Amino acid sequence: MAAPFLIEAVNAMLADLPTERKALLDVSCKEGDVLQALQARGFLLRGTNYEPAGPGLNGIPIDYGVNLLDRLPYDDASFDVVLLIEVIEHLENHRTALGELARILKPGGVLILTTPNIMRLNSRLHFFWSGYHKTKRRFIPFDTPLDQAHRFHNYPIDLPILYYLCNQYRLELERVGKSKIKAYSRLLFGLFGLPVMAYTWYTLLWREKNPHQKQENRRLSAWLLNPRTLMEDNLVLRFRKHAP
């Protein structure tokens, strides 16, 4: 079940988009709480679920047995909005998943993606001391059967890799949404925000000699240095698909 603050964040990301008769797909929608929260918005709603079968959802069609790492059962350019809410960190192949989401998204359509934020300063400090990022249920119990491994956060993705993969599929990052910020994260931002920003600027812009890559790094650094990226528990991102 999606946390209430994530449902609120998704709603905020959709607030400035036309909704009437627009097709929206929530991929791996779990219990469908996000879809139910959007019922009054005027979207043509649909969801998928990895489980082979399950209950209906108040008139919203749910396609069961859909594996995001296989070809999705939809035609190219089928949806105006695609949601991927707290899913990508469960997937062992980010490239395949994002490629499929881009394929079924119409040009001009948007992908809204949320995931635990391993770029936040809290996670970076945890990595410094432990050698691994801080995410919910980071370690999988070693007696977990392989067919159940997807239930754990085994594959967190950092923002530069996500940015690169989406860029390859013509998905341009256009907005960072509002998520939850703990008091400890605000404290870390006050203590380390400026040094981290300065070092990020140094590595991405000062040290880069290739003019084209420096321009790309300039765009990326604007997202990396966003205070929300450095503090919020979850990344809430909106990408827009551009025509070829």
Percentage of the chain lying above the pLDDT 90 cut: 80
Please give the angle made by the CA atoms of 173, 174 and 179, to the nearest 5 degrees: 90
- The pLDDT of residue 133 is 86
Q: What is the DSSP string of 100-137?
A: HHHHHEEEEEEEEEEEE-TTSHHHHHHHHHHSS---TT
- The pLDDT of residue 149 is 87
Q: Within a 10 A sphere around the Cβ of 113, how many other Cβ atoms?
A: 27
**Element holding 37 (H helix, E strand):** helix 33-37
Domains in the chain (CATH in brackets) are 4-120+135-181+233-241 (3.40.50.150)
Whole-prediction pTM: 0.94
For the stretch 194-225, pLDDT in tens is: 999 999 999 999 999 999 999 999 999 999 99
For the stretch 55-111, pLDDT in tens is: 888 889 999 999 999 999 999 999 999 999 999 999 999 999 999 999 999 999 999
The whole-angstrom separation of Cα 65 and Cα 56 is: 14
Instruction: Tell how strand 23-26 and strand 79-85 pair up.
Output: parallel
For the stretch 135-151, pLDDT in tens is: 765 678 888 998 888 88
- The pLDDT of residue 21 is 85
How large is the average pLDDT for residues 159-177? 97
